[in-house]
Amino acid sequence: MVLQSSTQSGNASGSSEEVVTSIGDASQLLVENLQSWLAGLIELLPKLGLALVVILLTFLVARLVRRGVRNVMRRVSEYEHANNLVATIARVGMIVGGLFIALTIIELGEVVAALLAGVGVVGLALGFAFQDIAANFISGFMLAIRRPFREGDILETGDHIGIVEEINLRTTIIDSFQGQRVIIPNQDVLGHPMINYSERGMRRIDLSCGVAYGDDLEKAKQVALETVENIEYREDSKGVDLYYNEFGDSSVNFVVRFWVEFTKQTDYLRAQSDSIMRLKKAYDDTDLTIPFPIRTLDFGVVGGEKLNEVLPRSMYRENGDPEADASPEAEQAQSS
């Protein structure tokens, strides 16, 4: 029994020594790791300091770049939204580049590669998800650089016409002549033909009219030209042209073309209305006729027969007037 107890005591002391040894090894390993990390940190301190300096310089340079890009964009584009966005993109690009350089300095090249790969994947996914929005933004930049129209211009694009109220990076807002506010994506504006009526400051009016076949065409032309030339708000730098262009059913038709000063839609409408009234009065004063449409009624199956030739002779009196007791069918035919 004594032997057994001594054996058990020996085993217990052996286990305690193993535990103490394991704790000592762990402590020594921890100390060694801390010493290694501390040594690496001390070795890395100059690189960390250089990386911090690079980051600070990057933010400073990014601010200067943003200011410089904005000034350059203001010379190219009048749209402040586009100018600010381009300047912000340049600033963010500088900051991202500086961060990548700082990570490379502290020997984190693998992190930089992973970040670049992640940015590429995210950018591709966002490109597919927001391709319409991206297309509108790109179109907005193109409009800002090309400047085909400005706010306040009268613009026609697609099925819409009105005054340009606002231009931003994604949409163009038009105030139609009927009072509706039309919001058009920039992609549609850039993808359709655009008519800017305000760019030249003048607009041509094509006024169609006609005179009777029995009137003197030379006289009608002279009267029309003199009438239009006397409009006070006509553009004097452009002449007045008149061309006969058609033998109509009841008249010889022509078109008179002249230019007027144009800053708003009412300038065009007023000139068109005044020219119509003046031409009508001038033709009335000179005994020239703007004829009504002439219609000939034909009552025969083949054609060329008058109403009295179609109705039976028994329906007429001796003097040729219709009988009073004519049938309703005959009266209806006579009235038509």
On the question of pLDDT at 1 being above 50, the answer is no
Domain edges within the chain: 23-128, 150-196, 200-320
Residue 326 has pLDDT above 70, yes or no: no
Domain formed by 200-320, architecture: 2-Layer Sandwich (3.30)
Residue 38 binned pLDDT confidence (cut-offs 50, 70, 90): low
Note the pLDDT tens digit of each residue in 266-307.
889 999 999 999 999 999 999 999 988 767 666 666 666 666
Angle (CA) 23 24 27, round 5°: 85
Instruction: Give the residue from 38, 79, 35, 292 showing the smallest Cα distance to 169.
Output: 79
Query: At 269, phi and psi to the nearest 5?
Result: -65, -40
Q: How confident is the model at residue 330 (pLDDT cuts 50, 70, 90)?
A: very low
> What architecture is the 150-196 domain classified under in CATH?
Roll (2.30)
The per-residue pLDDT for range 228-258, each reduced to its tens digit, is: 998 888 888 888 999 999 998 889 999 999 9
User: Is the per-residue pLDDT at 106 higher than 70?
Assistant: yes
CATH T-level fold of 23-128: Helix Hairpins (1.10.287)
Residue 253 vs residues 213, 227, 276, 289: alpha-carbon distances, Å: 10, 17, 15, 12
